[in-house]
A and B are shown apart, each in its own frame.
Chain A
Amino acid sequence: MDLNIAGIRLDVTEDGYLTDVSQWTKEIGLEIAKNEGVEMTDRHWEVVSWLQEQVKNDVALSVRGIKKSGVLNIKEFYALFPKGPLKVSTKIAGVPKPKSCI
């Protein structure tokens, strides 16, 4: 599948995750957020950068990991990205959908 965002053609997975993280820009993140019904604030972007940093360092993302991160608590995470925050926030961050599926 591909997606046209801000005039750029992007490869995405069936459920809309970028397949190439290096294609990500803030504009793209903003567009995805709009589609997800999330209005981005500075706090949202902080969380997005933190998620990208985790993925870069090969840290597997999970709700439990968020709990222990010290970066934000889960209540806040849900407030920022309602309805499946991990799924939504990773999509906006342009990182792969977390695989907690073993």
Chain B
Amino acid sequence: MKNLVILGAGTSGTMMANHLVSKLPKKTWKITIVDQYKTHYYQPGFLFLPFDTYTEDQVKKVGKKFIPKGVNYIQKKIDKILPEENKVALEDETIDYDLLIIATGSKIAPEETEGLLGPLWKKDIFDFYTFEGALALRNKLREWEGGKLVVHLTEMPIKCPVAPLEFAFLADSYFTKKGMRDKVEITYVTPLSGAFTKPTCSKSLSYLLSEKGIHMESDFAIERVDNETKEIVDYGESKIPFDLLVTVPTNMGDDLIERSGLGDDLNFVPTHKHTLQSIAHENIFVIGDATNVPASKAGSVAHFQAETLTDNILLYLKGYTLKEEFDGHANCFIETGHNKALLIDFNYNTEPVHGTFPFAKIGPLKLLKESIFNHWGKLAFRWIYWNMLLKGIAIPFVSRNMSFKGKVFDIKKN
């Protein structure tokens, strides 16, 4: 009997368990998935939680529900991977693997920024990348009377790169609805040169910020948070005052990657960007936010990766050459507030383009343009996530590689 072990039962790990359970012969392969946590969160929902758009129950379910029968599910802490011995040390036992999939994701590391975890943390400074953070922020927003709202992103890469910008858009919408938009000054602060992480987006979409009266501070590399004066300070000593700071702290891979000596500076695992095999060990594969590949850290990316990775694992087990297939394909809805959203589709080499999706000329979704239909798409995605995506069911008409049909390449590259 051979062992395939998946570390992490989040979006990526759960999808891989579902893909592989029907593809690996049960007589010769035992599939094990390890995750210490009982709850599976719908992380895109954390964006909506602070604004009372979603309730707590809509963004969490018991993780076990999504692990298929026939997969051994271990709920224990992972101590470290021992790649030279093909073993994983858990809190109280050690398990063997013939093939390992690392799907341990990424998490916020607020301790990386001086002063972020100071006296104002969870009082006037919040994150919305954790369930607890999003919930605390919701409670704060319910009673906040206005002032300077600073929406801030520390450094790249982060999970769901457009989320902080969406947060700023939704905040504009939320305070407008509450009749207190005139009492709130919104500033978006980014270490990048533009609001969007993709230059073509910044070019064609920067009007959104001015339209919504959101100020922007770019090229701001934060050094510390001054809890006394309520300012964020960058290395060049420029300062931005806040009454309420909503920040996306540094994102890092799991500590166990560091303990195992398998990560880069940010504990992300060096991974072949087209095959998803780890660079250091041929029987270790990596998927989702845990990799260092230059694709967005997002559920849609993990979904496309899962299809390639499943094929590559089967090829690897037969001793065949791996497919260098994954192209960095991402497909993201961007909430722009007031019940509208944008949709962007891009990969490693192609910047987001105009056009329709998924059908050429028909749509119904429009790329890179605000529409109400796109907003419905984003909301419908929660159902798709729980009922299709996690189960490894392909989303109809959306292929793992980026399609160029129905897309207009009319934006000049930098």
Contacts and interface: CB of A to CB of B under 8 A. Distances in A.
B38 interface: no
A101 B199 contact: yes
Nearest to B158: A102
Nearest to B193: A87
Interface in B160-204: 161, 191-193, 197-199
Contacts of B192: 100-101
Nearest to B220: A84
A78 B236 contact: yes
A43 interface: no
B7 interface: no
B296 interface: yes
A28 to B, nearest CB: 20
Contacts of B161: 102
A83 B218 CA distance: 10
B157 interface: yes
Interface in A20-35: none
Interface in A59-99: 62-65, 68, 74-75, 77-78, 82-85, 87, 99
B98 to A, nearest CB: 32
Contacts of A101: 156, 192, 197-199
A15 to B, nearest CB: 7
B188 to A, nearest CB: 16
A15 B266 contact: no
Contacts of A100: 155-157, 191-192
B358 to A, nearest CB: 23
A54 interface: no
A15 B155 CA distance: 22
A14 interface: yes
A98 to B, nearest CB: 10
Interface string B276-305: 000000000000000000111100000000
B219 A87 contact: yes
B193 A64 contact: no
Contact of A65 (B199, B223, B265): B265
B191 A63 contact: yes
Interface string A36-68: 000000000000000000000000001111001
Given A62-B155, A101-B192, A101-B198, A82 B296 contact: no
A13 interface: yes
B269 to A, nearest CB: 15
Nearest to B156: A100
Given A101-B197, A101-B198, A101-B199, A64 B265 contact: yes
Contact of A83 (B198, B219, B266): B219
Contact of A82 (B156, B223, B236, B297): B236
Among A15, A65, A78, A87, max chain B CB count under 10 A is at A78
Contacts of B221: 63, 74
Contacts of B197: 101-102
Contacts of B266: 64
Interface string B350-362: 0000000000000
B210 interface: no
Contacts of B22: none
B235 A74 contact: yes
B414 interface: yes
Given A15-B414, A64-B155, A78-B236, A84 B219 contact: yes
Given A101-B192, A102-B295, A75 B414 contact: no
Nearest to A68: B265
Nearest to B112: A64
Give me the 6 closest cross-chain CB pairs, A-B, nearest first. A84-B219, A100-B156, A101-B197, A78-B236, A78-B235, A74-B235
Interface of A: 13-15, 62-65, 68, 74-75, 77-78, 82-85, 87, 99-102
Given A74-B235, A100-B192, A101-B197, 6 more contacts: A63-B235, A64-B266, A83-B236, A84-B193, A87-B219, A102-B295
7 contacts: A62-B155, A64-B265, A83-B236, A101-B156, A101-B197, A102-B197, A102-B295
